[in-house]
A and B are shown apart, each in its own frame.
Chain A
């Protein structure tokens, strides 16, 4: 066994010396290869972290939400629906929620404006998230002005209510009182944006949701389970950006492998012929080529995965910010929780390292079985 290890080390020595002869070419190859691994690993790290964070935190979202749909669009829901729904067995509580969106032209950002159901807020005050403070350029204690539905201005004193740790969920939130909400959006009294239904027994969620739709046929019921399932599939490989990135990475790995499979140039054929002439076995040549491939691909894999880890978990994935932000102005600043799936890393390893290490064996074998005299004479 010791002899086998020592033999492999000699192959490694020789493979590295051979790679070092094309230092610039092979260094660039490792860096490009590492960049592809970095990109795909960054996406995997980021998406696993966001999925985990969203699914685990949204365990506490409302059990069932009821939206009124009119002509295929949402419409405010009359609070009398709450009474009908409240009579369904298993329903503990039905609360009307008031929330909506406000676009501030000067900041160019969309904000979520909400009325909290559990607490009172003074009519002249707005409790805001950090993203609002940043994009509206207002400090704690300053004033923000809304243009109401009837054209009047509504000025509110700002209170920064949420810290950096909840920014992923509260960055664009503006909490105001029910009276102020009515003043800004003009929603009629006895109407709500939607209804939050409390059903304690998770096994009853689905049946209660079905009963709600039977009691009020013009509504749609969304269960907590559906909310969590939506986020469990976010950044799914079929979604546009991720599909393009995966396709690009797979193609890049294929190109690297194809280049290696077909790239047995005259110099390498000559080298193999000389090795055969001085007494190397065909299996030795194949081992040498395997080690060359493994050294390049495993180095690129390790560099790429480590760089991706730092990119996502130590910095807030700055390369993705642009894509995630899209045309929006407001983007939360948050550190992704270090959660990942080892299966994903194994898949990238299988894709990046295995084909590249083994693909050159066939052309190397073809070169190794050729007559050394003929190869060296005609090269």
Chain B
């Protein structure tokens, strides 16, 4: 078999797998995820939840939306952000005007 034939078969197979994963898999599993989303929405509405439970290291990472700009630094004066998950997200957008570097850029 020619080298090009082997590569074309390989590339076509990989593209078929990728196509299946990007198009068919989301469609097939959508009902399961819709069910989960609906269950999550009900819990969020019933309990008035505001955040996902992804970073449970500290209050300001657990409830990102409820935090303020000082949360990460309140352990002692001059304390720096020290939790790994604190670097996964920026400050809530409502604080954008209060970030000194952004104001200096303007």
Chain A contacts to B: CB under 8 angstroms: 9-10, 12-13, 16-17, 20, 50, 53-54, 56-62, 65, 67, 69, 72-74, 95, 97, 101, 109-112, 114, 116-119, 129, 131, 162-163, 165-173, 175, 194, 196, 220, 222, 226-227, 229-231, 233-236, 238-242, 295, 298-299, 302-303, 305-306, 309-310, 313, 323-332, 337-340, 342, 345
Among A16, A53, A310, A337, the most chain B Cβ lie within 10 Å of the Cβ of A337
Report yes or no: B41 in contact with A57, Cβ–Cβ below 8 A.
Answer: yes
Closest 9 CB pairs of A and B: A240-B87, A326-B84, A16-B3, A12-B4, A302-B14, A60-B45, A338-B26, A328-B57, A337-B33
Chain B contacts to A: CB under 8 angstroms: 2-4, 6-8, 10-11, 14-15, 17-18, 21-22, 25-26, 29, 33, 35-37, 39-59, 61-66, 68, 70, 74, 83-90, 92-94
Known: A169-B43, A222-B66. A337 touches B84 (CB 8 A): no
A202 shortest CB reach to chain B, Å: 15
Report yes or no: A17 in contact with B89, Cβ–Cβ below 8 A.
Answer: no
Report yes or no: A339 in contact with B26, Cβ–Cβ below 8 A.
Answer: yes
- Checking B11, B18, B39, B85 against A326 with a beta-carbon cut-off of 8 angstroms, the contacting residue is B85
- Checking A116, A306, A324, A330 against B47 with a beta-carbon cut-off of 8 angstroms, the contacting residue is A116
Report yes or no: A231 in contact with B52, Cβ–Cβ below 8 A.
Answer: yes
Report yes or no: A172 in contact with B65, Cβ–Cβ below 8 A.
Answer: no
Report yes or no: B4 in contact with A13, Cβ–Cβ below 8 A.
Answer: yes
26 of the cross-chain contacts (CB-CB < 8 Å) are A56-B41, A57-B44, A58-B51, A60-B41, A61-B44, A62-B48, A65-B50, A69-B68, A74-B68, A165-B36, A166-B36, A166-B40, A168-B40, A168-B53, A175-B47, A230-B89, A231-B64, A234-B64, A236-B89, A241-B87, A313-B25, A324-B85, A325-B85, A326-B55, A327-B83, A337-B37
Give Cα distance in the complex from A172 to B89, angstroms. Answer: 20
Main secondary structure of the interface of B (DSSP, over half): helix
Known: A58-B50, A162-B43, A168-B53. A295 touches B59 (CB 8 A): no
Report yes or no: A110 in contact with B37, Cβ–Cβ below 8 A.
Answer: no
Which residues from A are CB-within-8-Å of B64? 230-231, 234
Give Cα distance in the complex from A342 to B19, angstroms. Answer: 12
Report yes or no: A16 in contact with B47, Cβ–Cβ below 8 A.
Answer: no
Residue of B nearest to A47 (CB): B88
Give Cα distance in the complex from A2 to B83, angstroms. Answer: 60
Report yes or no: A9 in contact with B4, Cβ–Cβ below 8 A.
Answer: yes
- Checking A97, A114, A227, A299 against B65 with a beta-carbon cut-off of 8 angstroms, the contacting residue is A227
Give Cα distance in the complex from A235 to B39, angstroms. Answer: 25
Give Cα distance in the complex from A196 to B45, angstroms. Answer: 11
- Checking A72, A165, A331 against B40 with a beta-carbon cut-off of 8 angstroms, the contacting residue is A165
